[in-house]
Amino acid sequence: MKYRYLLFNKPYRVLCQFRDDQGRVTLKDFIPIPDVYPAGRLDYDSEGLLLLTNDGRLQHRLTDPRYGHPRTYWVQVEGIPMPEALEQLCQGVVIQGYRTRPAEVALLPDEPKLPPRYPPIRFRRFIPTAWLQMTLREGRNRQVRRMTAAVGYPTLRLVRVAIGHLQLKDLAPGRWRELTHEEQQKLWHLCS
């Protein structure tokens, strides 16, 4: 069997699976390659980098929390986070009775250059927003959103920009590409 490794820029409101009984947009609407599956997920209302493969061993290594592979997100939050809130995120916060692992968190000095989202986030004239870069080494359901809410700054927009060394860069929303040979080699090394 020939293994396939695809990077996909998942748009907002795309279901991270190939079938849906409710008629929502799925990966099938973008990726014509049979028998590849996401190595991890992004919520319906999240955007960004998704790795798809038919390599079950690699999929397992990337999604099992005990291996702690880094995933980096750009997170637009409501309000301007205080340093104490950022420190809490760095140390881990309690969500649903569970303390998250420590995260790498930084306030971005400028809004990242991203394509517009449709529909756009709500605009509130008197409530500022800020962008964070967060790198997690675990991936629980809606974890980033729950973490930022736990410290008082709800997530408005969430875009995954990296999985380990793999980066979103200029891959347009709804587009996919095969990994280069060099990217595959680094990925296998990361998961060995």
Report the catalytic residues.
Answer: 43
d(CA 67, CA 124): 40
Instruction: Give Cβ neighbours of residue 140 (< 8 Å, ≥ 6 apart).
Output: 65, 95, 98, 100
Q: Is residue 171 packed enough to be buried (19+ CB in 10 Å), middle (13-18) or exposed (0-12)?
A: middle
Instruction: Determine the residue type at 93.
Output: V
- B/e letters for 61-85, b = 16+ CB within 10 Å, e = fewer, are bbeeeeeebebbbbbbbbeebeeeb
* Cα–Cα distance measured from residue 95 to residue 105, given in angstroms and rounded to the nearest whole number: 17
Task: Return the number of other C-beta atoms located less than 10 Å from residue 25's C-beta.
Answer: 15
